[in-house]
Amino acid sequence: MDRTLVLSIEDDQSDIALMTYILKEIRPSVVTKFIRDGQSALSYLRHPNFKANPPKIILMDIKLPRISGLELLKKYRAEKDIPQVPVVMLSSSDRNDEIAQSYSNGANSYVPKPRDLNELREKLTVIMEYWLEVNKN
């Protein structure tokens, strides 16, 4: 079976559990790799494994321990030698400054985390369909 690799940089245990469940539900072929802090994520992005087998999409939480999501995004986009994958920023809030900062740091999309399961399903479905389509190869 085709494996679709998704990288999720997310520190919250319950969000991780929920996303694992929903992503599997949306697309059974999805394999989600979770990294739980910004520093580890940066190391992984610079690791040969990442270059060898890049994910189709990165879901990045804005609030991360050690290095924040916005900072991490900026650093990642600045790296010329590693594959640049679509990044969707996820946030618990919808503050205007956060949104603006995300796009200017190189995010492809910004999505406030919905509080309702069905809403979350919808959002993630749209994200996955669109960005996997865009990033087919």
Partner 1 sequence: MQEVDLTNCDKEPIHLINKIQLHGCMLIVDPISQKIIGYSDNFQKFIGHSSRSPLGKKLNTYFPARICQEVYAVSTNTSIFREVTLNDQVFLVIFHNNGEQIIIEIELRDDSINIIEQQMQLSKIFAELNIAEDVAEMCASAAGLIKRFTHYDRVMIYQFDEHWNGKVVAESKEEALESWLGLNYPASDIPKQARALFLSQGVRMVSDVNGSSIPVHIAVQREVDFTKSELRAVSPIHIQYLQNMKVGATLTAAIVYNGELWGLIACHHYQKRCIDYYTRSSVKFLTQVFSTQLGLRSTNLNLEKTNRSNRTRARLLEKLSANWNITKALENNGEDFMKLTEATGAVVYFDGNLIVSGSTPDKDQIIKLLHSIKQSSAEDIFLTDNLEKRLQVTDLTNDIVGVLCIFMSTEQKDALLWFKEEITKRVTWAGNPKKSVVDENGTLSPRKSFEKWKQIQKGYSKPWKPYEIASAKAMREHISEIILHKYEEMLELNDRLKAVNKELESFSYSVSHDLRAPLRGISGFSQILSEQYFDVLDDFGKDALETIGRSTKKMNTLIDDILSFSGLGKKDAQLSEFNMNNLVEEVLDYLNPKEVYGNTDIVVQQELGMVTGDRAMIFQLLSNLISNALKYSAKAPRPLITIGKKSGNFFVKDNGIGFDMKHIEQIFGVFKRLVNDDYEGSGIGLAIAKRVVEKHSGKLWAESIPDGETTFYFKLNKSN
Query: Residue 77 or 95: which CB sits closer to partner 1?
Result: 95
Contact flag: residue 116 with partner 1 (CB under 8 A): yes
Q: Contacting partner 1 (CB under 8 A), which of 31, 117, 126, 134? A: 117
Question: Is there a contact between 113 and 121 (Cβ–Cβ < 8 Å)?
Answer: no
3-state helix, strand, coil in the chain (%, to 5): 45, 20, 35
Taking the C-alpha atoms of residue 34 and residue 28, their distance in angstroms, rounded to an integer, is 17
| Smallest gap from residue 13 Cβ to partner 1 (A) | 8
Q: Contacting partner 1 (CB under 8 A), which of 43, 92, 104, 134? A: 92
Taking the C-alpha atoms of residue 9 and residue 72, their distance in angstroms, rounded to an integer, is 10
Contact flag: residue 14 with partner 1 (CB under 8 A): yes
Contact flag: residue 43 with partner 1 (CB under 8 A): no
Question: Is there a contact between 98 and 125 (Cβ–Cβ < 8 Å)?
Answer: no
Name the site residues for partner 1 (rule: CB under 8 A): 12-15, 17-18, 21, 63, 92-93, 113, 115-118, 120
